[in-house]
Amino acid sequence: MRDAFHDQLESVLGDLAGICRDVETAVRLATEALLSGDAAVAEQVISADVEIDRARERVEDQAFALLSLQAPVAGDLRVVIAALRMVSELERMGDLSVHVAKIARLRVPNVAVPQAIHPTIARMAEVAEDMVKRVGQIILSQDVTAAIELGRDDEVMDQLRRSSFAQLLSDDWTEGVEAAVDVALLGRYYERIADHAVSIANRIVFVVTGEHPRALQA
């Protein structure tokens, strides 16, 4: 019975990693639409989000079934509770990708990101996508060291966010208010994707060790 239960737990983690791959694709395609002004790609991201929502529902159903039928305790309970939290964060990351795609679609046939700030936004997108990919690997490997490193690397995203604000507030900014609002929102969306990735990584650390990452770094 317990072997079957642990197989189900592994299945839940595998499903979470699968959703992570879907989110990674959503981030990549949303960025492609954003930087190229491709309405068709933007629509692809928006339409595909329903599959992430459905996958979240399946994971929640599995987790609630495990709670009600198996009454897990200790480490097993941590896994189930963490899975419920992580799947919610993954869905939110998908939603944030949709927000990026909607800005891209809104500005078609133009490109939402002005050339002057293109490198900064492109780099933020690259960092966000990489963090999503890595957190998917962390879910499967339960690698505490990699999870803690992901949290430290989030500083790169924070620096890029500060850089984008500095550009927006500079006297050299000539792109107007509409573009400034778009860029401010985009920076927030990518930053939040990264924040959710770190939060998921932290939950894996707690699942494995029973401690918060800050306690392990003290």
**CATH label of the domain that carries residue 56:** 1.20.58.220
Which band of pLDDT confidence, cut at 50, 70 and 90, is reported for residue 214? low
Burial of 11-43, coded b for 16+ CB within 10 Å and e otherwise, reads ebbebbbbbbebbbbbbbbbbbbbbebbbebbe
Close Cβ partners of 199 (under 8 Å, ≥ 6 residues apart): 89
Close Cβ partners of 48 (under 8 Å, ≥ 6 residues apart): 22, 25, 26
**Could you report the per-residue pLDDT of 113-169, keeping only the tens digit for each?**
999 999 999 999 999 999 999 999 999 999 999 999 998 888 999 999 999 999 998
Total domains, the chain:
1
Which band of pLDDT confidence, cut at 50, 70 and 90, is reported for residue 66? confident
Spell out the alpha helix ranges (H) of the chain: 2-36, 39-70, 74-107, 118-141, 144-169, 176-209, 213-217
Mean pLDDT of all residues belonging to the chain: 91
**Could you report the per-residue pLDDT of 7-36, keeping only the tens digit for each?**
888 899 999 999 999 999 999 999 999 999
Amino acid found at 29: L
Is there a cis peptide before residue 119, judged by omega within 30 degrees of 0? no
Q: Does pTM top 0.85 for this prediction?
A: yes
Which band of pLDDT confidence, cut at 50, 70 and 90, is reported for residue 218? very low
Question: Does pLDDT of 215 surpass 80?
Answer: no
Distances (CA, A) of 42 to 6, 33, 125, 157, 180: 39, 5, 15, 23, 20
Question: Does pLDDT of 1 surpass 60?
Answer: no
Range of the domain at 132: 2-217
**Could you report the per-residue pLDDT of 177-193, keeping only the tens digit for each?**
999 999 999 999 999 99
Percent with pLDDT over 90 in the chain:
75
